[in-house]
Amino acid sequence: MKIKSLEHIKFLLVTLLVLASCANSIGQIIEITTDIPEFSPPSPNAYQIGRFGQVPVNESTGAINYSIPLHTYKVGDITVPVTLNYSGNGVKVDQSSSLTGINWTLMAGGVIIREVRDREDKIASNRYFFEIDELNALPNAWNLDQGVWANTINEMVNDVTADSEVDIYSFNFSSYSGSFFFDQDMNPHLVNYNTELKISRIYDNDNHLVIKITTPDGFNYFFGGTKGSEYTTTRKFHVDPGTETNLQTALYLYKIISPKGSIVEFDYFHLIYEIETGQSFISINDLGKDCQFSNIDNTNTTGDRYLTYFNNGQAILRKIYSNLSNDSIVFYNSALQIDSIAYFNNNGKKYKSNQLIYQYPHDENGVINSRFFLTNVKEKDSANCFTGNNYKMSYDRLNLLPKQFALAQDYFGYYNGIYSTTLIPKGISSFLDSREGSGYADREPDFNFAKIGSLSSIEYPTGGISEFEYESGQGGYKYTNDPITLNTYSYNSSNESLYSVYTNEGLYFSPIVTDSIIIELSSYASERVLRAQFAELIVTNLTDNIQFFYSIGIGSLHEPGSYSNNNNFFKCKTLKNKLYKFELIMDSGDSNQQGTYTSATAKIKYFIPKDALGLRIKRITEKAEPNTNLGYIKRFYYNKKENINDTVIQEYNTQFYLFLEDNITYCEFEEIPFWAHIYRTSLYSSSILDVYVDDSHKNLYPNVTISYGGDNFENGGEELEFKVTKEPFAEIYKEPFGEKSVGSRIFTSSRGNKAWDNGTLLRKRVFKKENGIFKILKDEKYCYKIDASKSFSITNYVGKKTKFQGLVNPSGVHNISLNSYNCYSTWNSLDSIVKIDYFGTDSIVTYQKIYYDIGIPGLPTRVVTKDSKSNQLTSKTYYPDNANLINGITSQELSTIDSMRRNNLHMINSPIQTEQLRNECILNATRVIYKNWGQNFSQTGPLILPDTIKVSGEITNPYLLEARVKYYRYDTLGNPLEFSKVDDSHTVLLWGYNSLNPIAKIQNATYDEVQAILGQEIISQLASSFDNVFIENQIAITRTALPDAMITTFIYNPSVGLIKQIDPNGIISKYEYDSFGRLKFIKDHDGNVLKSYDYHYSGQTPTDNFFTYTVTFDLQGEDSLPKLTTPAGIIISPDDPTRTGYTFEGWYKEAACTNAWNFATDLVTTNVTLYARWTANTYAITYTLNGGTNSPSNTATYTYGVGLTLSDPSRTGYTFGGWYLEPTFVNAISTISATATGDRTLYARWTA
């Protein structure tokens, strides 16, 4: 019999109640226990590194991000910075330490962490990724009992081989971070698709997943595989790890290969161990009747602790090394912490190291906490002695940090000081609270406890210190636990005419929010009070002159010996910022008894702010030394500058803990089928989600205002605006245009990434504050382009089913809740920038529009800049993928360029040609002609390097390019060995120190000449040599053998840099460095200081003048001068630049060179670009006619950039034989080229 409707079900249930005593039930309920978390975490270390692929790292998070640079490992064209990075505010109770302590991460390579959702991509044999319309189009759609549609949903939810959610991969390496996923066809998609990363998925010989990422410059990064994979199993305490799924949750970077063949490798050892990673609780509440018509009324709360087991061991970095050099970095570990980092030179000798020191906090009972904190980073020299360079960190009240997994956590997992027996929060449902009693946890935040363990200060090696102060946002309002209290009483001590009454003078109050206050009136009467009195609370709105009265009776008319205590509760709505007065009065009553006493009390509960979840940075104070009160303050306000004192409520939706089910069991009674309903409410809470699914996205701030120099913008400020949107919950799968749905919302499910662009900077305004008024100095707006045609989305499904036994109709979907969410890959890039610079009442507006004509994100092909005077500058760039559009490019050039494109070497950001235009008129153009120079050093691919650099020549036709630089030879590492300017002498470079540094620049010689002197064997020895004496001697031999060459020698200490230079005249300059590896002095050969460098260190923000600006000197056609970083004020003019064929006429404020910059009076108050103004030189021409008559078209001068075509003179009886540069008629000339310079004397040659 087929059940047609719910009405039919109800009819059967009523009918069968009579027969319940003889029913044989087939369907029975199985008790549900805590499910294993759907998210299996990676190791704490991998998570801490990879989390930056998930969240923005800027002011929008309210978090501090500090970096300690330790070393830079450089080999060939590969650079690997080694840094210690701090990111995070506070410590979560269940949080585990990384290898460098809580919230610290050692960045020395990179990692991809993998969030396995549903089934692992590799394991799943059936992948279900229907679009909603496709799922609705299946046969028998919305037949909840059976059919293809119902069977498909059952398989999606229950089949252990099925996968309906994509795994999310988050990466952090080099300068790249983000996340991606693989679609149903295993094609990769970047979530924030703002750069063109080439992602490949392969498996090595041991069947370990390897992910190769090729960056736009052609560098290849390899993750995972046998060396760099980390597998984890998350299980309950009592479960055998062999019964759970083994998941590859982290893929560490193990190799980098550059286009030139440089290789850097990362060696890991794997420590097999198991750590406790979290705890989960579930509270199940059942109501209804089962197949036996028995009442179901259960409440069951259970909890489990979880272990994460590293099946192949946690991958712990041991060494960084290269095929090009014996230089290496070795990491020394004990247990699960990095103790020291040692740096070895090419001879295998350690020349310095860093020691990392930790603190393991003790609780009040002296028990060591399982977490540890980085407190010192000390530097040691080659003899293992401390150099004095020390970073020192301190933290907030570590001795008060609760033990890990303490049940005293707020909704984000931070300590709140309120202990419980569960993590199930109260207050989600009053019905559930009443069933459980007081057993649920108070998970409201408390800032004073949440900030325990947060970073308090960093002291730097140079003595400066940064101090950090935090605050909580406001999470709404709560009734105070310390109410306003008023008392009054009366007393009759002798007779009916003698009594006293005490009346308070009243209290004043101004609410901070419009809402109801709670008034509790209570009274007391002694036993001799026979007649009624009353007390009255008068609430007066003094602002609007409105009164409210609340009263309570006192006493009774009963016989002596009986008395009454009365309590009454009232609510009174009060208005924000109004002034109220509270008065409690009492009448005298009508008692004639002696010794009677009456009293009344009013307690008034009002709203006070409650803390928001999480911490945020409030103030950073930079000091020159620790023990001083003087410091430079950087104050953060999380609102617009005009509203910094206004309250912004940060609400938190606790509904994701809740799961509602209407479970229906199919039953039979005497072959008559019917449905039994059991309504189930489940509350689920997991600290694993709190710790490992990062909560930074929960508190993002759309507006952040920063005050410099103090709390009141003493040195000005910045106002930042960010993109912030909330990520929606997964949607219930519903019938289109109908009322049916598959179950209810699953709040504990995975969520999409619709808010992928959270934290994107939209606007920045720089201002100063004068006389309480904000004055804008600079306003910048950023707009972004989204290309829907290059974006992608995939629909994911998450399902939940209550487990039943003996179901007659297992293919139905009555017991299933199915939700859907989308994962997006969004093509986006910066579209335009509008900059307004204010100068008093004037302003300059600059509009910059960015075009991506080849559709590659992050690679603009045109940048058009317009100013407020309608001047337009356009910069065009041609890359390998649009090089075919270049005017005049040859097929041979394109053949080489083709190997650089996306489907080949992926060197897609290499500019082939750049052009500069002003108002659509071409100013100059530069083209790089590439050549395949053969296989690189490591035989990993061809060396694609410049062969010729061409620049625009004739000013009348700038597209006519002339060769300017020619390369003749490279080594197999891509180092240039011989090059020249066209029609100029050759330059040879010799390389040493494993071919990593140039050791000689030899001008006016060829490589063959140098090779003939030294021999190729010596040149090869020089390339690998670190022997400074040998290097200097061999170059000295070359100096002697090539007296006409100009030779410069470079000698290095590879651990710091250049230490000695000998110029072509033999003059020696020596370079000295301080203990931090910074250049300190340049001295001559006698030790006299030629130049000194002073470094004023004050942490990571200057304390002397935070407002520093960048002055860019644009030479307009030549390489720009170094940028100047300066505080506000007058700047000194740099030395006048030079340009062949031009005279420099000064620096101007705009590219059109209309308004000159006055270095005596003009002030720098923002970042500024100054433009060089040039005038083409005019040169004199002297004509020696030797008796002839010159042509009128032969001018007396010529101008650089224009040149001159010479006309023939005339002479009676003679034939003109040409113009010559000398009277002996050796070098003929018919034109003076546009690139010629200098005065000219020309000689006419005649033949009779």
Reported pTM: 0.79
Determine the Cα–Cα distance for residues 970 and 14; give it in Å rounded to an integer: 92
Supply 570's token pair. Answer: 């009232």
Supply 1190's token pair. Answer: 């010159």
Check whether 495 has a pLDDT greater than 60: no
pLDDT digits (tens, 9 = 90+) for 875-901: 999 999 999 999 888 899 999 999 999
Three-state SS at 672: strand
DSSP result, 496-535: TT--EEE----EEE--SSSEEEEEEEEEEE-TT--S-EEE
3-state helix, strand, coil in the chain (%, to 5): 10, 50, 40
Mean residue pLDDT across the chain: 82
- For 361, residues 6+ apart whose C-beta sits below 8 A from its C-beta are 368, 369, 371, 373, 398, 399, 401
Determine the Cα–Cα distance for residues 610 and 480; give it in Å rounded to an integer: 9
* DSSP collapsed to 3 states, 345-374: CCCCCEEEEEEEEEECCECCCCCECCCCEE
Supply 191's token pair. Answer: 């979530």
Distances in Å between the alpha carbon of 1 and those of 9, 12, 151, 792?
Answer: 12, 12, 20, 46
Output the pLDDT for position 1097: 44
| Least confident interval from 22-31, 526-535, 585-594, 728-737 | 22-31
Sign of CA dihedral 1073, 1074, 1079, 1084: negative
**Buried b / exposed e across 1071-1108, counting CB within 10 Å, b at 16+?**
bebeeebebbbbbeeeeeeeeeeeeebbbbebbeebbe
* DSSP collapsed to 3 states, 1006-1051: CHHHHHHHHCHHHHHHHHHCCCHHHHHHHHHHHHHHCCCCEEEEEE
**Pick from 724, 826, 800: which is nearest to 165 by CA?**
800
Supply 223's token pair. Answer: 């993750």
Report yes or no: 673 and 667 within 8 Å, Cβ to Cβ. yes
Output the pLDDT for position 312: 66
pLDDT digits (tens, 9 = 90+) for 1184-1223: 998 899 999 999 999 988 888 999 999 988 999 999 999 8
**Residue corresponding to tokens 């597209």:** 959
Q: How many CA atoms lie within 13 A of 782 on its CB side?
A: 15
Band of the pLDDT at 26, cuts 50, 70, 90? very low
Angle at 210 between CA 226 and CA 221, to 5 degrees: 105
Angle at 622 between CA 617 and CA 627, to 5 degrees: 115
Check whether 178 has a pLDDT greater than 90: yes
The more confident residue out of 1077 and 414 is 414
Determine the Cα–Cα distance for residues 423 and 1142; give it in Å rounded to an integer: 76
Query: What whole-number percentage of the chain has pLDDT above 70?
Result: 79
Supply 304's token pair. Answer: 């489990």
Check whether 631 has a pLDDT greater than 80: no
Number of other residues whose CB lies within 10 A of the CB of residue 573? 10
Determine the Cα–Cα distance for residues 1036 and 789; give it in Å rounded to an integer: 63
Determine the Cα–Cα distance for residues 898 and 884; give it in Å rounded to an integer: 10
pLDDT digits (tens, 9 = 90+) for 719-760: 999 999 888 878 888 988 888 888 777 766 667 888 889 999
Supply 299's token pair. Answer: 């409440």
Residues paired with 685 in a beta bridge: 281
Output the pLDDT for position 635: 93
Residues paired with 672 in a beta bridge: 669
pLDDT digits (tens, 9 = 90+) for 894-909: 999 999 998 899 999 9
Q: Which domains does the chain have, with CATH numbers?
A: 84-126+148-476+613-827 (no CATH), 478-608 (2.60.120), 860-971 (no CATH), 985-1105 (no CATH), 1108-1176 (2.60.40.4270), 1178-1247 (2.60.40)
The more confident residue out of 104 and 631 is 104
- Decide: residue 190, CB within 10 A, 0-12 exposed, 13-18 middle, 19+ buried: buried
Band of the pLDDT at 558, cuts 50, 70, 90? very low
